Amino acid sequence: MTATQTTTTTAVSPIPESEYKVKDLNLADFGRKEIELAEVEMPGLMASREEMGHKKPLAGAKVMGSLHMTIQTAVLIETLKELGADIRWCSCNIFSTQDHAASAVVAKGTASVFAWKAETLEEYWWCTNRALTWPDGSGPDIIVDDGGDATMLIHEGFKAEMAYEKDGTLPDPESTDNAEFKCVLTTIRDGLKTNPKRFRNMVDKMVGVSEETTTGVHRLIERARDGTLLFPAINVNDCVTKSKFDNVYGCRHSLPDGIMRATDVMLAGKTVMICGYGDVGKGSAHAMKAAGARCLVAEIDPICALQATMEGFQVARLEDVLSEVDIVITATGNKDIVLLKHMEKMKNNAIVGNIGHFDNEIDIAGLEAYDGIKKVEIKPQVHRWQFPDGHGIIMLAEGRLLNLGCATGHPSFVMSCSFTNQILAQVELWENRSSGKYENNVYILPKVLDEKVARLHLKHLNAKLTELSTDQAEYIGVNAIGPFKPETYRY
């Protein structure tokens, strides 16, 4: 299906109202138009539909997704649908839903969606829980996870059920200071009495999860190492066509996009500090340099730091350059990067934002507790925090992912790479649901699939691959159709 052939897609929703919650179904038409445009930019997903659509390889699979409910995700969802899946979805971030995307998916009857922009934490976990619960009370067969929240809820639910069965212990939301974990425990506790086997039943039939992010994979690997992982997991994050594309090139696109939409500030001539020079930091720093900024990098890893120097970035510590920097962006995947003591000393109207993972890269809590500080909303997702001395900083997206909060996240094309890996992972899990191929461990997709994902995206860019002769393939000891590199190859 190309963008030009669709007609009355939003006619009547076959999804009953109790089975979705989005902001406004009237946004569906606008969402549908954007989905159709995005389809042209997501050749990997469209090729998957063409190649596998008629075979319905996901027929019978109940797929739950916890992943930013954007236009691009809508194309992913509709591809899963085309492959035969029965789908429920929620977002993995309280700010990242694009309401018109959510509405369009519901209006077309593609999936049950529970997501809207700017959820409260309570609402967020309510949505996640609802997305995990099919009308008949059962749970999903396979999960598409981003950051691991759905997986975490199941694991915590499972643990709570075991404790409850053992001695009637109920999860105690007061036992934690973490506002988010309070919600998780409340959600589990409230369900426990009605159905004390719900999560165990879910786990029993769970085929597996495919995880999108570094953070989520990190959590999965810890569980696998500890022996507590309850079902197989495919690490989509570490596909080359994910981590070296979405992370690098996605951020190179969406960092300046987010800053510009939020602040309209001229990037040229500014001094920018990028904290972290991993894949996200690499994309971010190059974007700032490309825009004419003077870009500095903060790093803890000497190898990444040396890479930064080779690209002409000055490697410095944040505390040493506070009087110079106009923009500070965190891209570390760690916590406590931009601290109060930094923000106090920044230039007036210095811009602070995060493109890493969680909002704890920046000490938002510290700001909120600061005596005499004022928080003024310039516009949604853009706040000026004014210190008592009168100078202020501009905080983007409340310290959460600024590219999703202040712009529309990564563009369709790069998400098509990531999401085509998701499709391949979901099919792989489902087709092997009884093969015993996957144990409760974390797996990588085979390189040949990674290469396939790349291949599906080249034609759209007019790229023409050279082909190996048999003779050449033999000479370097590979198969002429790939895979072409050893597993350890770094790209």
**Which H or E run includes 384?**
strand 382-386
Q: Which of 55, 69, 143, 151 is nearest to 110 (CA)?
A: 69
* Residue 8 in the binding site for a copy of itself (CB under 8 A): no
Instruction: Confirm whether residue 357 is marked as ligand binding.
Output: yes
Residue 190 annotated as catalytic:
no
Active-site residue (options: 242, 270, 452, 457): 242
Q: Which of 311, 310, 304 is nearest to 286 (CA)?
A: 311
Give CA–CA dist 469/67, Å, rounded. 42
Backbone angles phi, psi at 63, to 5 degrees: -110, 125
* Residue 24 in the binding site for a copy of itself (CB under 8 A): no
Q: Which is nearer to a copy of itself, 164 or 181 (CB)?
A: 181
CB 407 to a copy of itself: min, Å = 7
**Which H or E run includes 353?**
strand 350-354
Residues 437-466 that bind a copy of itself (CB under 8 A): 450-452, 454-455, 457-458, 461-466
**Is residue 406 a contact partner of residue 396, using CB atoms and an 8 Å limit?**
yes
* Residue 269 in the binding site for a copy of itself (CB under 8 A): yes
* Residue 37 in the binding site for a copy of itself (CB under 8 A): yes
Give CA–CA dist 129/153, Å, rounded. 8
Which tokens hold the place of 400? 């959460």
**Which H or E run includes 187?**
helix 179-192
Type of residue found at 248: V
Q: Which is nearer to a copy of itself, 189 or 294 (CB)?
A: 294
Instruction: Confirm whether residue 167 is marked as ligand binding.
Output: no
Give CA–CA dist 354/360, Å, rounded. 9
DSSP 274-320: EE--SHHHHHHHHHHHHTT-EEEEE-S-HHHHHHHHHTTPEE--GGG
Pairing, β 233-235 against β 442-444: parallel
* Residue 195 in the binding site for a copy of itself (CB under 8 A): no
Residue choice 3, 118, 170, 373 for contact with a copy of itself (CB under 8 A): 3
Residue 320 annotated as catalytic:
no
Residue choice 90, 236, 298, 402 for contact with a copy of itself (CB under 8 A): 298
Residue 178 annotated as catalytic:
no
Residue 383 annotated as catalytic:
no
Residue 54 annotated as catalytic:
no
* Residue 469 in the binding site for a copy of itself (CB under 8 A): yes
Active-site residue (options: 13, 66, 93, 96): 96
Q: Which is nearer to a copy of itself, 168 or 477 (CB)?
A: 477
* Residue 16 in the binding site for a copy of itself (CB under 8 A): no
Residue choice 224, 384, 431, 432 for contact with a copy of itself (CB under 8 A): 384
Task: Tell me 248's DSSP state.
Answer: I
Q: Which long-range contacts (C-beta less than 8 Å, at least 24 apart) are formed by 429-433?
A: 429/142, 429/207, 429/208, 429/210, 429/232, 429/234, 430/57, 430/58, 430/61, 430/141, 430/142, 430/207, 431/57, 433/141, 433/207
* Residue 285 in the binding site for a copy of itself (CB under 8 A): no
Residue 457 annotated as catalytic:
no
Residue 26 annotated as catalytic:
no
Give CA–CA dist 363/280, Å, rounded. 20
CB 195 to a copy of itself: min, Å = 34
Instruction: Confirm whether residue 390 is marked as ligand binding.
Output: no
Residue choice 9, 19, 40, 156 for contact with a copy of itself (CB under 8 A): 40
Q: Which is nearer to a copy of itself, 53 or 482 (CB)?
A: 482
Active-site residue (options: 212, 359, 361, 450): 212
Residue choice 48, 241, 330, 426 for contact with a copy of itself (CB under 8 A): 241
Instruction: Confirm whether residue 70 is marked as ligand binding.
Output: yes
Q: In what order do the strands lie in the sheet with 327-330?
A: 314-315, 294-298, 271-275, 327-330, 350-354, 392-396, 382-386, 374-379
Residues 307-346 that bind a copy of itself (CB under 8 A): 307-318, 320, 324, 333-336
Q: How far, rounded to the nearest angstrom, does the alpha carbon of residue 186 sit from its chain's CA centroid?
A: 25
Active-site residue (options: 13, 66, 91, 412): 91
Pairing, β 392-396 against β 350-354: parallel
CB 349 to a copy of itself: min, Å = 5
Give CA–CA dist 457/245, Å, rounded. 12
Type of residue found at 79: T
Residues 400-419 that bind a copy of itself (CB under 8 A): 407-408, 411-414, 417
Residues 77-136 that bind a copy of itself (CB under 8 A): none
Residue 251 annotated as catalytic:
yes
Q: Which is nearer to a copy of itself, 23 or 455 (CB)?
A: 455
Beta carbons within 8 Å of 416's beta carbon, 6+ residues apart:
41, 42, 43, 44, 45, 72, 75, 457
Active-site residue (options: 21, 108, 182, 410): 410
* Residue 198 in the binding site for a copy of itself (CB under 8 A): no
**Is residue 184 a contact partner of residue 125, using CB atoms and an 8 Å limit?**
yes
Residue choice 84, 157, 232, 256 for contact with a copy of itself (CB under 8 A): 256
Give the binding-site size for a copy of itself (rule: CB under 8 A): 118
Instruction: Confirm whether residue 409 is marked as ligand binding.
Output: no
Instruction: Confirm whether residue 128 is marked as ligand binding.
Output: no
Which tokens hold the place of 369? 């507790």
**Which residues sit in the known binding site for substrate?**
70, 146, 212, 242, 246
**Which residues sit in the known binding site for NAD(+)?**
213-215, 278-283, 299, 355-357, 403, 410
Question: Which residues are known catalytic residues?
Answer: 68, 91, 96, 146, 212, 237, 242, 246-247, 251, 357, 410, 418, 422
**Which residues sit in the known binding site?**
70, 146, 212-215, 242, 246, 278-283, 299, 355-357, 403, 410
